[in-house]
Amino acid sequence: MKIYGVAVLSACFIAGQLIGEALGILFHFDGNIGGVGFGMLLLIVLGDWIKKKKWLDAESESGIHFWSGMYIPVVIAMSATQNVKAALSGGWVALVVGVFATLLCFSLIPLLSKLQKKTDSTGSSL
């Protein structure tokens, strides 16, 4: 049943959020630290394990796939509800800082990517 897949997804999501909140309290930070990331890691590990054990059939798994298919529509709704007016009314400082700092980060991607390939080929990956 599809709801089994959705329930597994929900369990991973909530467990991840709990870990994120706990880390926030631990580091005295008012908020959630990496809750989504922990949820994803849980789903990757748990999903793999459940698949091997054959506890979720394809029908149940399609409950998870439905939500990953809804991901782009959710992002479209998200971009339509951003405060774009405020972003543009922040003046020149906001525009210059926002654009230049971002471009610089982009330019570092190939550099780090090269570093990753180097360490990967020498076999020192985690």
Is residue 31 close enough to count as binding other proteins by CB under 8 A?
A: yes
Q: How far is the CB of 59 from other proteins (least distance, A)?
A: 15
Smallest separation (angstroms) from other proteins to the CB of 8: 9
The closest of 63, 33, 38 to 50, measured between CA atoms, is 63
Residues 85-124 that bind other proteins (CB under 8 A): 85-110, 112-113, 115-117, 119-120, 124
Beta carbon of residue 103, minimum distance to other proteins (angstroms, whole number): 8
- Give how many residues touch other proteins by CB under 8 A: 83
Taking the C-alpha atoms of residue 104 and residue 106, their distance in angstroms, rounded to an integer, is: 5
- Nearest by Cα to 65 from 79, 51, 52: 51
List binders of other proteins among 33-52 (CB under 8 A): 33-37, 39-41, 43-45, 47-48
What is the separation, in whole angstroms, between the first and last Cα of the chain? 37
- CA Rg, the chain, in Å? 20
